[in-house]
Amino acid sequence: MIMGIDEVGRGCWAGPLVAGAVILPDNYTHDVKSAWKLADSKRMSKRQRELAADSIPDVAIGFGLGWVSASEVDELGLTAAVRLAMERAVAAVGVEVDTIIIDGSLNFLAHLPGTQAVVKADDSVPAVSAASILAKVARDNWMAEAAQRFPGYDFEKHVGYGTAAHAAAIKELGICELHRRSFKPIAILC
């Protein structure tokens, strides 16, 4: 069995870093007639991602999410925070596998046997695509809820990424507890 792992929110100015981990059946084939398809979550519409995220748990052997808060990112640094998010996602799955494929060029889990990093795996390995989708939808939903607690930042729109609107909100309101204080753009805007 293969576990796919991907993370979202690495470059965000605010909010958590989230890793998804998914195991799909060895014989998994996607129904091409469905309203969504497995792909890199960044290339899907919000509606496609949400449909996929609703369906993935029904077909997955196991899945999990690993969350790392903005304050943990500041405390640990980005590389260690990504590793921690992935470790938490693997632990949340709770199923042992022979192979773990991580999207990207850096194997954050090299200390675990059978892990490998594959560039563009989120577009070529179905389990990684599924992990990418689950993590993106979960994080986006979390940021939309955070927008209610922190009005004026428009977190529901930019989900914490560095946009002109986000920078303008910081200049007007200052930073909040969701901001990653160790990130240079935040330090410059404060």
Evaluate whether 138 touches 65 at the Cβ level (below 8 Å): yes
- The fold for domain 2-142 equals Nucleotidyltransferase; domain 5 (3.30.420)
How many angstroms separate the CA atoms of 126 and 166, rounded?
A: 33
Give the pLDDT of residue 31: 58
pTM: 0.93
The residue among 174, 162, 182, 169 whose CA lies nearest residue 69 is 182
Identify the segments of the chain with pLDDT beneath 70: 29-37, 39-40, 190
